[in-house]
Structure 1
Amino acid sequence: MAGTPGYYVYKVVNKTSTKNVVNYGDEIARCSGSTSVTCTISRSADATVQVSASFGLTKGWVSGQLGITAGATVSTGVSCSAAVSSIKALVAYPYTTRYRYQIQKVVGPTGHVVDTSGYLYAFKPNKASAYCRIETK
C-alpha cells in the first residue's frame, strides 16, 4: 500500500537488552515434599522465548524486529539443591536476555508518529543456567 494516504507503518524503537535477567514468569522446574526434605533439581528443562506485542501486531512480527523467535524453546541446564519445609518449594527460573522496547505507529507517507506503546518486554532464555529460589507453595 505504499503511496496510499493514511496507511500506517510500525517501528520497534528505544530497544535495549540486558543479559542474565531472571524471568520469574517462566517457571521451568519445581521440587517440594509433604514433609521437610532436601530438594534437588538436576536436569535439562525447556524455557520459552516470550514476546509482548501491541497495536494488534503479531508476536512473530515483533520477534522478527528483535532478531529472536517468539515461542521457541531453549533447553536450559538446571542444577540446585536446598532443604525445604513442607510449606516451601525449590523453584527454578531461566536466566534470560531481556529486551525492553516500544512500538511506534507511524503514518507511512509523512512519517508522523500517531501513537507509541508503553514499554514492552521480551525474554530469550540462556542455554547455560537457571536461577533457583525457595518459595512458599
Structure 2
Amino acid sequence: MAKRPQLTGRAAILAVVVCAIAMSLAYPFREYIAQRRQIAELEQEQAQALQHLRNLEDQRRKLEDPDYIKQLAKKRLHYCEPDAKCYVLLDGKDKAVTVKAEAKKSGTAPWYVTLWQSVQAADAGDGQKAAS
C-alpha cells in the first residue's frame, strides 16, 4: 500500500480559496467595526447635546420666573427692596485672603489695585506739574 501525501492538490486549492475568502471579508468587516464605533460616538455626543439643551431650557424657565430674578438680584447685586432693611457683611480676613490668592494665581495685581495705582500716579504727576 502506497502512502498518500499529506497535502493533496485539492486540499491546497481549498486552502487557497479559504484564504482568499477570509482576505476579501477582512476589509469590509474592519469597516463595519469602525462604523459601529463611529455610530456609538455620535450617539454619545447626541445624548450630551440633549442634556445640555435640557439644562439650557431649565435655566431659561428659571429666568422667566420673577421671583428667581429677584433672588438673583439680591444675591449678586445686593439689591434691597424699598422699605426693607438689608445688610451686607464684609469679612476683611476672607477678602484679603481671596485677593492674595487671586494675585498669586494670575501673577498680576487685581484690576482695582492697578486702577487705584494709576489714579495715584496721575494725581502725583499733576501735582508735580502744578508745583513747577
TM-score (normalised: structure 1): 0.18
Bigger radius of gyration, 1 or 2?
2
TM-score (normalised: structure 2): 0.18
Q: Higher helix fraction: Structure 1 or Structure 2?
A: 2
